[in-house]
Amino acid sequence: MEDKKVEKQKYALVTGGSRGIGRAICVQLAKDLDYHIIINYNGNKKAAEETLKLVEEAGGNGEILQFNVADAEGVKSILEAWHEDHKEAVIEVVINNAGITKDGLFMWMSPEDWSSVIDTSLNGFYNVTNALIQKLLVNKYGRIINMVSVSGLKGTPGQTNYSAAKGAVIGATKALAQEVAKRNVTVNAVAPGFIKTDMTKELNEQELRKMIPANRFGTAEEVAHTVSFLASSKSSYITGEIININGGIYS
């Protein structure tokens, strides 16, 4: 039985892996760990292919896989089909990174702007993790890492929907960690603050720096290093934790 486990190809799945923090995570995993990287994307195939190229340049290998994390049926069927095509494979690392923002004051927030953010961040976590959790438990080894946010910890005005979604994932991280710990499956979350990505390029960095003790925005690579550590066997006694990467913003 042990021999069979050794033969299996080991994979790490990164949802929303085509750009920003997701891309940096894919590249860092390729540098640090011996996993084939599954780069999930929803709409931007070109960006996903660019990420794959960067993974290969970093000495790793991988593949791109299109699905919308918010589509429960789609996630289930695509991951089932993937497993059919990769019978000798095991996805050991699940990084729930896909997320969107639809910012605005709560009193003006449309039902669509509320639902789409919850569907991607919170239901996306459920759809992907639930589709893979049994395999992790049977495998008796796994790493689940949820990308949350400083908004989910302290709440950010103008982001009630995003704060609600990320806050819920934080609660889910702590609960699930306790359910699966005996099977050597860890569940942790990483909460970035202001990080330089496409998502934050519209923000006034000069103004916002004043509230950050480190006096700067972080980089996607700084987040990716922590995720890579949590995805490794070195982090085996850390579970149910929320690790802040925010330059010292109180949360």
**What residues act catalytically?**
162
Describe the crossing of helices 160-180 and 111-118 by its angle, rounded to 10 degrees.
30
The two structure tokens encoding residue 107: 């009193």
**E strand map for 172-219:** 185-192
- Residue 98 to residue 147: CA distance in whole angstroms: 8
Angle (CA) 229-223-123 rounded to 5° is 90
Q: Is 26 left (phi over 0), alpha (psi -120 to 50) or beta?
A: alpha
The residue to which tokens 């750009």 are assigned: 19
Tell me the β-bridge partners of 95. Answer: 14, 145
- Residue 130 to residue 105: CA distance in whole angstroms: 32
Closest CA to 211 of 241, 240, 247, 187: 247
Residue at 119: amino acid letter: D
Closest CA to 193 of 173, 163, 217, 164: 217
Q: Please report how many Cα atoms fall inside a 13 Å half-sphere around the Cα of residue 76, on the Cβ side.
A: 8
- Residue 219 to residue 229: CA distance in whole angstroms: 16
